[in-house]
Structure 1
């Protein structure tokens, strides 16, 4: 019997394995339930992002079948592999959360800078900022005008260029 990989009924498939593995203090492995889409389109993007998010949040240590796959792992796209790698990175960072320790909070820096002032020039801010912000390598983060000047390339075009350059 064929069951689509990303249906809600089996989204928790990795969570049960991760919970048991955590109980026994052993690593866990699970597939990320790739997209059924046949194309590198919005369907592939949102299904992959949702499936990776749920798998990573479940606490699985090793994720197989996680990137570049279409049609329930029957085909591969190198362009999608590049995008999925970024989805994995940003999702892992989001799941990790923000470090909250006496060192990261830095009450002494807050007292020193003062209320309503700027923390961006503080070395402490620069040190922790690098770890807390995910830096995209694939998305366009500039304005529409700059994107237009650079040739109005969509995500797939940019990733295809990146793949062909390698």
Structure 2
């Protein structure tokens, strides 16, 4: 039994390496939570979607690998200069999602689009039924990283990183008490 006036035992201090590892892990978790909010929760709450930029047609505005959030928009509210995402239905090929700038709004309305890095307008006008939304914001590089992590080799690499972090946490030196 200890006496009330006895000095308290000194608190065990973690090694500087363990403290640094804890700080890095905390920052990593906070960063992942912020990314999840920006790329999943916020767009979902606004009725939007997130797409990955797969080509350089919008460079430098939207770099390859960026995750682009778009919000639904009424076709009548789309103006020249807006960046929109739409479904491109080329005959004889699979549908694909395209994010390009509106260069003209024609009666109907239909939209003439062009990638910022392209010299010519897209070959087909965009009908209102193909409109997915208007550009809201983007997060550079994250879309490409997410696409890679969803692939087989990406899952193996991600699993390896998690295992290395777990092993590091278990193997870092601990100070002994007493």
Q: TM-score, normalised by structure 2?
A: 0.24
Q: Which has the larger radius of gyration?
A: 2
Higher strand share: 2
Q: TM-score, normalised by structure 1?
A: 0.25
Higher helix share: 1
